[in-house]
Amino acid sequence: MLWPATMLGAAAGLALASIPGALLGGLLGQALDRRLRLHGCDNLRERLGGRAAPADDELLFLMLGRLAKSDGRVVQRHIQQARSEMQRLALDEAGQRRAIEAFSRGKTGRDNLRRPLQRQRERAEQLLRACWRMAWVDGRVPPSERELILLWGKWLGWDSARLDVLGEEYAPRRGQQPTPAGGSYQEALRLLGVNEGSEPEQIKRAYRRLLSRHHPDKLAGSGASPERIREATETTRQLHQAYAVVRQRRGLR
């Protein structure tokens, strides 16, 4: 472990007062390292730069924002998918605000994600699955989005072949078109298994129950086939869109 303030203090002390100065500078630097919890030069640069490394969920939404903007403009489907990821993570109100801010910041492309991603290799599959869901939201993956995912995958320790296999799990089945973002209200009710007289809480419970039943990540963890995961991914996308239609029509929060 490198203690940056300790090293700097010792070097400055050595230059000013030889060995006694180095010892005193090292002790003072060590106290500063412990107080600020500096464990390396990256931590020190983050402190000096005024921007901390992004939190786990913040990093994900930085990635999703950059993906959404990479093909030129962000469309409603991208925003809906970002909201779906917030629901998937069960973020509270404060967490959703941070996710929205990170998504907006991601669109600017100003954050360097290489080092944060290299520290997230244990979460690589979770991050990459969310990226592929965003990339396939239009039923196709533009080259700019695929290139970004390949680059991020490389930083996360994945090769391109493994990434492509993962991405195929979220590709729409041949001949299947994505559900229109503004699908009919009646069709949305039917998909959720509710009716116009259903109470808001009934609608929310039905939506959550169906999401849990068709959750592609859960199926992937249980060893389901790629075809089954693709079906579940498409069903989940339709459920998100159906709930968005009902939510807007009924004014649900």
Q: Give me the mean pLDDT over the 122-136 stretch.
A: 92
The reported pLDDT for the residue numbered 32 is 67
DSSP 54: P
141-168 pLDDT tens trace: 888 999 999 999 999 999 989 998 888 8
The reported pLDDT for the residue numbered 197 is 83
Report the phi/psi class of residue 111: left, alpha or beta, with left for phi > 0 and alpha for psi in -120 to 50: beta
* Contacts with 235 (C-beta within 8 Å, 6 or more apart), sequence order: 214
194-250 pLDDT tens trace: 888 888 898 888 888 888 887 777 777 777 777 777 777 878 888 888 888 888 888
* Contacts with 80 (C-beta within 8 Å, 6 or more apart), sequence order: 137, 181, 240, 241, 244
Distance between CA atoms of residues 121 and 152, nearest Å: 11
Report the phi/psi class of residue 23: left, alpha or beta, with left for phi > 0 and alpha for psi in -120 to 50: alpha
Could you tell me if 117 and 155 are in contact, meaning their C-beta atoms sit under 8 angstroms apart?
A: yes
The reported pLDDT for the residue numbered 69 is 92
68 pLDDT exceeds 80?
yes
Question: Which structure tokens are listed for 19?
Answer: 């060995």
Weakest mean pLDDT among 25-34, 74-83, 136-145, 224-233: 25-34
The reported pLDDT for the residue numbered 1 is 47
Please report which confidence band the pLDDT of residue 134 belongs to, taking 50, 70 and 90 as the band edges: very high
Please report which confidence band the pLDDT of residue 88 belongs to, taking 50, 70 and 90 as the band edges: confident
174-183 pLDDT tens trace: 544 444 444 5
pTM of the model: 0.57
Backbone angles phi, psi at 46, to 5 degrees: -65, -40
